[in-house]
Structure 1
Amino acid sequence: MTDQRKATRTVGGIVDFEVVFPSSKVEVAELHAASGVPVADILAITHTEEFPALDEDEAAWELAVAAGRAVLDRTGISPDDIGHVVYAGSGEWDQPFWSPAAKVADELGIRHAHCFEVTNFCNGGMTAVRTALAELALGTARHALVLIGDRLSRLVDHEDPESKALFNFGDAPAAVLLGREDCLLDVLASSMRTDPSWADYYSGDIEDDRVLMRRRGRRQGLGDAYLENFPARVDDVLTALGRQVGDVAYLLINQGDKGMHEKLLAALGIPAEKSVFNYHRYGHMGGSDPLIALGDLIAEGRLAPGDLVLVATSGMGFTWGVTALEYRGR
């Protein structure tokens, strides 16, 4: 390990994490019936006939509670040891003008934490991880709990053919327990950047008491922006760590666009077998996508202690981020 890498190592990392899937699904046949878009065109976006989504009677915060309870029970960490509860996503929570972080804390019996929200869309989860670790480094708390609790499927107008690029948006709330020691994965470094010229590319409309995402205009070049910003962020973290692309065991990414995923790997010179493709199983689960992939790698025994994993996340705005993790093992 080089001195440069020691100097850039974050204090702490991921102690444990859990993803909880909702009870319902969005089916391509339903999307076709509602929008009139041909099934083949929808499958070119979803790559699966169905994917998890919240039922009408389910709330994202409730599933976030289940995820949080799972990691606390599994690790034996007391709610009294949680100093920060951070709820991340798009800002369109289950209720308006409301703190889901505080609600989850109350349900989990966390009584002495600072509870707050981070809005950075599908980059929100990793932004919250970075923010919470900074809080741990500054204070006396030993642990923080990050919840990813978007409700993306509720924000898509499935009757609008112009929204078909968003038809793969589903839901999978998650919890990430962070600590300053005994970590499953150390968080080594991260680099994030927003190109504000894309701020108005998507925005929401309020229709029949729902907030619905709408693309504004026909501006070209977003794909090029992805292929410019993600490799730049990868270069940032590898340079900070004194590492090279060949040292990367896996690169994980939001599962929003399979074609972009493949182009990014090609641009970086990373083979497909050093990533995880879940498009045939799930849609785009927002900020939980890389956690699902990470869980698969661990469950299948495909990670060894010391492996370097890069997590590439993006969010409307548009923001691109890459977070470097080192697997320590359980």
Structure 2
Amino acid sequence: MSRAAVVAGVGGYVPPRVVTNDELAQRLDTSDTWIRTRTGIAQRHVVDAGTTTSDLAVEAGLRALKNASADGADLVIVATTTPDRPCPATAPAVAARLGLTDVPAYDVAAVCSGFVYALQAGSAAVTARFAERVLVIGAESFSTILDPADRTTSVIFGDGAGAVLLRAGEREEPGAVLDVHLGSDGSMADLITVRGGGVEERTRGAEPRPEDRYFRMDGKSVFFAAVRHMAESSRTVLASTGWEVADIDRLVGHQANIRIIQAVADQLGLPPERAVLNIDRVGNTSAASIPLALADGMANGLLTAGDRVLLTAFGGGATWGSATLTWPDLPVG
């Protein structure tokens, strides 16, 4: 029997405030029909004033721990593009609020691929015997970095957090993370970016440009890059796992856009009904996307014990990654 990281608990949380397409249409040149047709999104959740990314992460972490009937973890990893502060990292504050003040904690910044990157780090920590239980959280307050006048981004993104508790176990048991594939290409950094706020801006010798405070995305280029790299990464991790496409019971892709998820399924030759979707209700929540979809899929009965699951994502950097696991028998509710 070989040691592996096993999913022991899952939790998701979205802030209570809902923003519908009709609400956005009141201030942007758009409509409910336009948004639904191009993205598959009907609504998204956004944080209220005073709510932080760590608030979302703590709530999702608590739910994952409760789902696993666990009282803690010995490593906390938070994937986020919207940390509470540029310095320090958000993960130590999240760990402290969870009562874990003496464990290592750090952030992972890979934008929409962040959760898969963090999952790999957490799984590796378990298999290397660095940790017995790892809390992996994806959390975003993306609404705080969007240009309110940019309809191409304002209609897509939402806020939320999702978490998975990993425990030490065996590769042969349900819930085991089997294989992970990661990749990046920094030449595509400008496809998905916030230009301001870093050293690049501070050493430019010019006044900061207000527009550089906001998230920008080249949607058309991102679409084609995401489909290509998610499909290629998926094939790579399936090959290393020893699975065929027909073996996949559920595809849990980054909830970026309904057309991206459908295109990836088509590229793989996977029936579209095998995809777990919640983008219509929460929008694109970046690093929180996949764990939120896992929590929703479990709650809705779309993920059942023994299912062979493929995770895949593409994000800023550019980064991408995929993972395979079997779904464990977890309590619902």
* Aligned residues of 2:179 and 2:240 also touching (Cα < 8 A): yes
* 1:16-48 deviations in Å (ceiling 9; x for gaps): 110111021223233233333455433434534
In structure 2, the residue matched to 1:247 is: 247
From 189, 213, 216, give the equivalent of 1:214: 216
Q: Deviations over 1:272-330 (max 9, x none)?
A: 11112323322112223232332333334444443210011111122221110111313
Amino acid at match of 2:136: V
- Matched positions, count: 316
In structure 2, the partner of 1:294 is 294
From 167, 173, 179, the equivalent of 2:155 is 167
Task: Quote the Cα distance in structure 2 between the aligned partners of 1:147 and 1:210.
Answer: 28
CA contact (8 A) 2:10 2:67 kept: no
**CA deviations over 1:144-174 (Å, ceiling 9, x no partner):** 112212111111112134xx14521001112
Normalization by structure 1: what TM-score? 0.86
Residue 276, structure 1, aligned to residue 269, structure 2: no
Is there any run of 5+ residues in structure 1 with no aligned partner, and where?
A: 1-5
Identity %: 25
Indicate how the Cα distance of structure 1 residues 45 and 98 shifts in structure 2: closer, same or farther if over 3 A, else same. farther
- Matched residue SS, 2:288: helix
* 1:212 to partner: Cα distance: 1.0
Residue type of the partner of 2:90?
P
For 2:93, the equivalent position in structure 1 comes to 103
1:261 alignment partner AA = I
Aligned residue for 2:50?
Answer: 57
Q: Partners in 2 of 1:38 and 1:72 — Cα distance?
A: 40
CA RMSD of aligned residues (A): 2.6
Residue identity opposite 1:131 in structure 2 = A
Residue in structure 1 matched with residue 165 of structure 2 by the alignment: 177
TM-score by length of 2: 0.85
SS at match of 1:199: helix
Give the 3-state SS of the residue equivalent to 2:194 in structure 1. strand
2:60 to 64, 67, 85: 67
Partner of 1:120: 110
Q: Distance in 1 between matches of 2:328 and 2:35?
A: 40
Range with greater deviation from structure 2 (199-208 or 310-319): 199-208
Aligned partners of 1:26 and 1:50 also within 8 Å: yes
Q: Distance in 2 between matches of 1:211 and 1:78?
A: 39
Are 2:325 and 1:325 aligned? yes
Partner of 1:3: none
CA distance in 1: counterparts of 2:329 and 2:40, whole angstroms: 32
